[in-house]
């Protein structure tokens, strides 16, 4: 005697097959649409400028797999990471400029107002260095999603 599955299990298996087929079709249609949009960006050039947010743009190339991933899947974490790098760059520039001014002021007159200005710049420099350290700590304390 042959074992037959219960009707509810057979119906469930049939629905599962139909839904899997539907999912595969939809995913392929979505991928084709994404590819068309991607190709449309390269009508006149081998690259285009893609805005990630209001302050951040990136040049994406047609033959680069990484560029395509950035275009399709760039997430908030990556944008925050890049923006934090921009903050670090700004802080380093501020620190460098403050160091130059401090050196110039210390070479000049030793009058009290010059010394006060130098001390204020030194305090600002220390504050910027502390901000830099905190940003670096945030990089190390919360590893990037792609690294985990």
Domain spans, the chain: 75-148
pTM greater than the 0.75 cutoff: no
> Residue 45 in contact with residue 60, Cβ under 8 Å?
no
Ramachandran angles phi, psi of 57, nearest 5°: -125, 155
Question: What pLDDT score does 64 carry?
Answer: 82
pLDDT of residue 147: 47
Q: How many Å apart are CA 15 and CA 17, to the nearest integer?
A: 5
The low-confidence residues of the chain, meaning pLDDT below 50, are 146-148
Q: How, if at all, do strands 56-61 and 47-53 pair?
A: antiparallel
What length is written for the chain? 148
């Amino acid at each position: 005697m042959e074992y037959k599955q219960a009707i509810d299990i057979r119906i469930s298996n049939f629905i599962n097959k139909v839904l899997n087929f539907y999912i595969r079709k939809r995913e392929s249609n979505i991928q084709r649409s994404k590819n068309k949009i991607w190709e449309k960006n390269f009508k006149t050039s081998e690259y285009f400028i893609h805005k990630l947010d209001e302050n951040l743009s990136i040049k994406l190339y047609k033959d680069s797999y990484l560029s395509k991933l950035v275009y399709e899947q760039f997430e908030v974490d990556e944008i925050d990471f890049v923006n934090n790098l921009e903050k670090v760059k700004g802080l380093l520039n501020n620190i460098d400029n403050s160091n130059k001014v401090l050196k110039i002021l210390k070479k000049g007159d030793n009058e009290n107002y010059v010394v006060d200005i130098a001390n204020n710049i030194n305090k600002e420099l220390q504050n910027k260095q502390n901000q830099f350290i905190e940003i670096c700590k945030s990089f190390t304390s919360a590893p990037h999603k792609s690294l985990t």
